[in-house]
């Protein structure tokens, strides 16, 4: 068994949990411009015919996603090597696509990881939880197998129709998180790393690095939107003398 299905599902669940925590503290909701230059890195590539529950983004939806692509490049300090393919899917298709990849072994691993982290109580029905999250909470996800960003259809409607709402702010942060994974894939072959055989410790390290990178990008972006420069604050903190009095 490869760890890809589990890692992808844990990534999605982690993104939902951590983004919700960030949202509960404070999310900047500055007005979103109605017009924005579309970066070349977000240009659409030829796509296959639409399938049931899946479609291509419209021009205005593509522009909304392009803004998030630009924000991701800016906060991460990297540019996409190739355009990110985007699919708009219904919640039912997202649930089916991710659920069919989850084996019982995946469920057991997820249970152990999240209970060990204190994020889930003992005896939680993890499969039911994952399916519930996939169906109701997944804003979108990056698919390393297909090199594509999947966005839930009602979410993209919110981004386009109600861009200054709390829901849209949450969606932008979550999609930025997933686009960081796309950058990781293009620059570091994240999909190949996930496919490689690892022991449990190695899997944890890989997942932690990938998720930590994406989560930090979210925090930096949100802080910048609220006028806070966390990078500068960290540098200034590092220059301060450390008081070693009382340390043994």
* DSSP H helices in the chain: 4-25, 59-76, 91-99, 104-116, 126-136, 153-161, 166-188, 190-195, 200-225, 230-239
| Residue 85, pLDDT above cutoff 90 | yes
pLDDT digits (tens, 9 = 90+) for 166-196: 999 999 999 999 999 999 999 988 877 777 7
Question: pLDDT value at position 34?
Answer: 35
CA distance 5 to 99: 9
**Nearest Cα residue to 93 out of 43, 154, 42:** 154
Mean pLDDT of the chain: 77
Percent of the chain with pLDDT over 70: 68
| Residue 75, pLDDT above cutoff 90 | yes
CA distance 174 to 151: 10
Query: Could you tell me the CA-to-CA distances from 78 to 11, 36, 69, 215 in Å, in that order?
Result: 21, 20, 11, 16
pLDDT digits (tens, 9 = 90+) for 95-104: 888 888 778 8
pLDDT digits (tens, 9 = 90+) for 9-19: 555 555 555 55
Check: CB of residue 9 under 8 Å from CB of residue 102. yes
Indicate the pLDDT class of residue 27, thresholds 50, 70 and 90: very low
pLDDT digits (tens, 9 = 90+) for 153-165: 999 999 999 999 9
Question: pLDDT value at position 235?
Answer: 62
| Residue 202, pLDDT above cutoff 60 | yes
State the average pLDDT over residues 74-78.
Answer: 93
């Amino acid at each position: 068994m490869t760890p890809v299905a589990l890692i992808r599902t844990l990534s999605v669940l982690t993104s939902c949990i951590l983004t919700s925590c960030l949202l509960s503290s404070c999310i900047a909701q500055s007005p979103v411009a109605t017009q924005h230059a579309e970066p070349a890195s977000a240009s659409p590539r030829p796509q296959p015919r639409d399938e049931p529950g899946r479609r291509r983004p419209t021009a205005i939806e593509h522009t909304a996603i392009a803004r998030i692509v630009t924000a991701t490049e800016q906060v991460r300090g990297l540019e996409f090597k190739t355009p990110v393919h985007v699919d708009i899917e219904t919640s039912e298709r997202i649930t089916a696509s991710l659920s069919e990849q989850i084996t019982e072994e995946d469920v057991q691993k997820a249970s152990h990881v999240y209970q060990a982290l204190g994020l889930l109580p003992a005896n939680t029905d993890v499969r039911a939880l994952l399916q519930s999250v996939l169906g109701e909470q997944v804003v979108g996800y990056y698919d390393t197998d297909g090199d594509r960003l999947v966005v839930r259809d009602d979410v993209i409607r919110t981004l386009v129709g109600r861009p200054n709402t709390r829901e849209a702010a949450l969606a932008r942060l979550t999609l930025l998180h997933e686009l960081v994974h796309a950058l990781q894939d293009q620059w570091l072959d994240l999909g190949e790393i996930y496919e490689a055989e690892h022991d449990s410790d190695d899997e944890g390290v890989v997942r932690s690095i990938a998720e930590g990178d994406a989560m930090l990008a979210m925090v930096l972006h949100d802080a910048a939107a609220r006028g806070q420069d966390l990078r500068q604050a960290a540098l200034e903190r590092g220059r301060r003398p450390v008081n070693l009095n009382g340390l043994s």
